[in-house]
Structure 1
Amino acid sequence: MPKYQTHFKALGTKITLTVFSSFDQQVFAPSKKLIDYYEKLFSIYLPDSEISRINRAAGQKMIEVSTPTFDLVSLAQKISLKSWGFNAAIGPLVKEWNVGFENAHRPDATRIRQLLHQIDPQEITTKAPNLIGLQQAGMQLDLGGIAKGYIADRLKDLWAAFGVRTGIIDLGGNLLTIGNSSLHPDQKWRIGIQDPWNPRGKALRVVRMPACSAVTSGIYERNFTENHHFYHHILNPRTGYPLKTQLMGVTVFTDQSVWGEIESTRLFFNPETPVDELKKDRHFMAAVFVYQNHEIRILK
């Protein structure tokens, strides 16, 4: 069956949108505009974004923001307070380590102790309808661990409004499949689990799933070595250092992409979470754990 795609750079990554009807290509242009709109709200790398404005005003005043920013920050704070590993206030630590960029480095212990006092999510203040503030100077929001999922879900809403019944939204590896797959007789999607020891696109395992989101948290793409020590980008907000783990990555399948972001971080920090507890989560569908010893564990 023919497929129609568009590729472009946004959100600091490569975006690929796929539809299976030539008529559905009409959704590509508004999709790009919607991604650009959200990037201008959420990006910490754009000085005029709403998140950047909140960060600059830390310890001084609250900032009036759009409804999407208010909603996403409110959700991010709620999840941060559960202590599952995700912390929307971790910006100062992320900036200091700078993993994934040329000047990535291990900060000294004194600096890390200082920054741990600036990442308390309880000091994020939200006031309806649309005011957000950071109580302490030096605090910084960083929604990088949740924003792509939120944006993917809003794209899905847009595609539904355009009548797109089947498609794939790929925001740099964060996948969201829509409708039944027209590529296979069983109408299930085939989703590859990235092989951490091979180039991007090489699958270690292929999972068959209905329409879902697939989000991965892993240590194999953004990392560096300093003085013969390996450091990755998933920072533990309790210690200020990269999380000590036996995992290489965990891929989580959920019904909504924002919950895929949340659950992939939760399970990366807490891989022994009981299956019964996971099944209480109405968003959870399945998870694949890949360990540094090459072991694979699947929960469904």
Structure 2
Amino acid sequence: MTASIIDGKAHAAGLGERIAASVAALAGTAGTPPGLAVVLVGEDPASAVYVRNKGRTARGVGMASFEHVLPADTTQDALMKLIAELNADDAVDGILVQLPLPAHLDSLAVIDAIDPAKDVDGLHPLNAGRLASGLPGLVSCTPLGCLMLLRATRGDLSGLDAIVVGRSILVGKPVAQLLLAENCTVTLAHSRTRDLARKVAAADIVVAAVGQPEMVKGAWIKPGATVIDVGINRVERDGESVLVGDVEFGVASRTAGAITPVPGGVGPMTIMCLIHNTLVAAYRRRGLSVPRLW
């Protein structure tokens, strides 16, 4: 058996087309397009690339993009003041503060200061609590992208056995909550889980988000399982720097029914889900019914 490759770029492009149509419809009704504000503190090259990509993607679907680049020595008070201004700015529907922040800044306090209705990264405690309670709210972008890919690949997920390897608040825990809401039976595992191979081998769905290169071995994968690899790790191979996921792709792709590549799988969906969340926030803030996009 050879797994089908889940093309995250193609799925993200399709979602982007549907978002663009809804952005145009909202702008025609409300008079202004949705607005996304992204805040970058410092000069980390990777973060700067992410911020540029997010702004370009927002503009590509017709949204307004507001990019705030602050020096690395920005104080906590100055950053909190900017967050308060963005909360009050009616042109801004979504706020994202690029993480990680410089070590002298309190990331949790910054996240907590963002208006939950504009928290398009889905990290505010109120949104995390609503997800855990099964209530509507803004959902973290990478977990939402994982769910979109799973639904597109497998359709109804009800009754399937799923394992999530990784327990972070950014991916592992919210993915588990989303799968529970889809009526999956979910095991939340991590790097210290005993007999992980046996648990993975019993799963119809494997979501790997542990941050360790190829920790999930291909031989563990159940025949026909769907594998969503969130990991992105840079390693040296034959004298070259290459990107690999948290799953041993080469072996797993000979057993799985479907698998995401690294890169080109979950990554493109993460940015597009940020844009999706901004659209959702814009409709909700205007008291309008949110269109169904996936």
TM-score normalised per structure 2: 0.28
- Structure with more of its chain in helix, by fraction: 2
- Structure with more of its chain in strand, by fraction: 1
Tell me which of the two structures has the higher relative contact order, counting C-alpha pairs closer than 8 angstroms and 6 or more residues apart: 2
TM-score normalised per structure 1: 0.28
